[in-house]
Amino acid sequence: MRKGLTPLVIFLALSVVCSWIVWLWPFHNPGSFHVAVFGLRFDAPFNLTKLMVGICLPGLLAVISAASEGKPHILGMVATIVKWRTSPKWYLLALSLPFGVFWLSFATVLFYFPSSHHRPSLSWFFLNLLLLLPFGPLWEEIAWRAYALRKLQGHFSAITSALVIGLFWAVWHIPLWWINVGLKNVPTATLSAVLLSGVVSVTAWSIVFAFLYSRSSYSLPVVVLLHASYDSAAAAIFPSIESGQLHYIVLSAIVSVVLAVPFAMRMHNAQGPG
């Protein structure tokens, strides 16, 4: 193991163990938490809370890990978290790229499976995006980009680092896909296609995330927005598909790879020979 990577390996191992334990814990209480803010009542179902805790844990572990390594590490993390001043084009790309990929996949499925699909709600997409921002997208990006990716880039090339964290990120997601997409009773061939497509898609998007992160001068708000846009677009479009869901999953993975290739080439060219 390369010198200096031990804290990262420990962090990644703890992220998998802690998140998976929370997600897979056999807790099925139908109740919910009740929170009142300015006279408004919000209900948070226990099962949803369990999922969100598992999603946010790696970010908390990353903060603890950076703090344990010393002041320069935690200050470096804070600097990227608050770096919101960057070119507006990176925010525009972060907002539009996921929606474009999923809409293209949706339109293609609609063309080949012209059943009674209902059109995804654009207003719901933006509302969901705003609600998601301070939770999963923020804490995951603290973990995967502000901590893990920057650690890897100190030892490997930008593309290798993006691929490594992408593969890990995809594997970390598997129990979440199992729960949210409902993969418990699907045929083995379908399960394999869904999981392989998920791994390919997330790994491809890891390159896009790494590209926008570095080109925006390591602005975490840019990739937090990209992450929230990805989650919101997927959540808005996938339920709208009544026929050809598997085709949509596979197609969106292919389109994601096609999108990632030019970003990977630009990262390689920017790095130069060697």
Angle (deg, nearest 10), helices 245-271 and 158-177: 160
Which residue blocks in the chain are alpha helix, DSSP H?
A: 6-24, 46-68, 71-81, 88-112, 122-132, 136-141, 150-153, 158-177, 188-215, 220-237, 245-271
pTM exceeding 0.95: no
Rounded to the nearest integer, the mean pLDDT of the chain is 89
Determine what percent of the chain is predicted with pLDDT higher than 70.
88
Range of weakest confidence among 16-20, 26-30, 98-102, 195-199: 26-30
- The pLDDT confidence band at residue 269, using thresholds 50, 70 and 90, is confident
Q: In this model, does residue 43 exceed pLDDT 70?
A: no
Measured in degrees and rounded to the nearest 5, phi and psi for residue 135 equal -110, -110
Tell me, what's the pLDDT at 140? 98
Residue 189 has a pLDDT of 80
Question: pLDDT band at residue 274, thresholds of 50, 70 and 90?
Answer: very low
Please give the residue that has the higher pLDDT: either 55 or 271.
55
Question: Can you give the pLDDT at residue 117?
Answer: 61
DSSP string, 162-192: HHHHHHHHHHHHHHHHIIIII-TTS-HHHHH
Report the pLDDT value the prediction gives residue 78, as an integer from 0 to 100.
96
Report the pLDDT value the prediction gives residue 129, as an integer from 0 to 100: 92
Model confidence pLDDT, tens digit, residues 61-87: 999 999 999 999 999 999 999 999 999
Q: Is the pLDDT of residue 256 over 60?
A: yes
Comparing 158 with 44, which gets the higher pLDDT? Answer: 158
pLDDT band at 238 (very low <50, low <70, confident <90, very high): confident
State pLDDT tens for residues 121-148.
888 889 889 989 999 999 999 999 999 9
* Confidence at residue 273, expressed as pLDDT on a 0 to 100 scale: 47
Rounded mean pLDDT, 217-237 = 95
Residue of higher predicted confidence among 241 and 126: 126
Q: Which of 7, 218, 238 is nearest to 124 (CA)?
A: 238
Pairing of strands 40-45, 32-37: antiparallel
**Tokens 């897979």 found at:** 24
pLDDT band with cut points at 50, 70 and 90 for residue 42: low
d(CA 94, CA 82): 17
164-210 per-position pLDDT tens digit = 999 999 999 999 888 776 666 667 788 888 899 999 999 999 999 99
